[in-house]
Amino acid sequence: MIYRITITGTESTGKSTLAEKLSIYYKTVFVPDYSRYYIDQLPHKYGKMDVLEIAHGIIEQEDRMMHNANKILFSDNDLINIKIWLEYYKWEVPAWLETEIIKRKSNLYLLCDIDLPWIPDEQRSNPNDRTELFSQFKNELQNANADFQIVTGITPQQRLNSAVQQIDDLMNRVNK
């Protein structure tokens, strides 16, 4: 069995760094943030249809990378993130996305806390909504009855240590 672990949360919380470090630590692969790749290719500001295309890209990447995983597949971004993105911009969440969220539920979600400072880049746009968005992620995970833990720490090593402890706890629970 391959365990799916999703690193999630609002912008500028160290998700991509954590996903990469976890894949190295556990000697497996991670699915990079497809939204960054997709948006970098756009000649225009993204819209609802682009967000839905990103959702399809996440699905395709996860399915492809699952075959390369060594016991754990880490995902940097997922469909819950897409749902929150759609809701944030007050765009309709299609029924197929809700179905896929349930169908593709991860074994564990690592919700990155907002205790890291905001680092701007051309794709980040919500420095003042971090608390609200963090609460939205937490509520969405609770509503989905997802197994999730909050990852804290102000350095990449502290975040890695926090995440490893949560993952090892999960693996100990399921292997009993």
Give the chain's mean pLDDT. Answer: 90
Q: What is the mean pLDDT of residues 54-64?
A: 95
Q: Is the pLDDT of residue 118 over 80?
A: no
Alpha-carbon separation of residue 41 from 34, 103, 126, 141, 158 (angstroms) = 11, 29, 21, 30, 33
Q: What is the mean pLDDT of residues 161-174?
A: 90
To the nearest 10 degrees (0 to 180), the angle between helices 79-88 and 95-103 is: 150
| Domains located in the chain, CATH noted | 3-174 (3.40.50.300)
Structure tokens of 175? 């292997």
Q: Is the pLDDT of residue 36 over 90?
A: no
Measured distance CA(141)–CA(136) in Å, rounded: 9
Percent of the chain with pLDDT over 70: 93
Q: What is the pLDDT of residues 74-102, one digit of tens each?
A: 999 899 999 999 999 999 999 999 999 99
Measured distance CA(123)–CA(45) in Å, rounded: 10
Measured distance CA(12)–CA(159) in Å, rounded: 13
Please tell me whether residue 164 adopts helix, strand or coil conformation: helix
Q: What is the pLDDT of residues 119-132, one digit of tens each?
A: 656 654 666 688 89
Q: Which amino acid is at 41?
A: Q
Alpha carbon of residue 100 to chain centroid: 15
Q: How confident is the model at residue 155 (pLDDT cuts 50, 70, 90)?
A: confident
Q: Is the pLDDT of residue 8 over 60?
A: yes
Q: Is the pLDDT of residue 54 over 70?
A: yes
Other beta carbons within 10 Å of 174: 11
Q: Show Cβ contacts of residue 26 under 8 Å, excluding neighbours closer than 6 positions.
A: 70, 71, 72, 74, 167
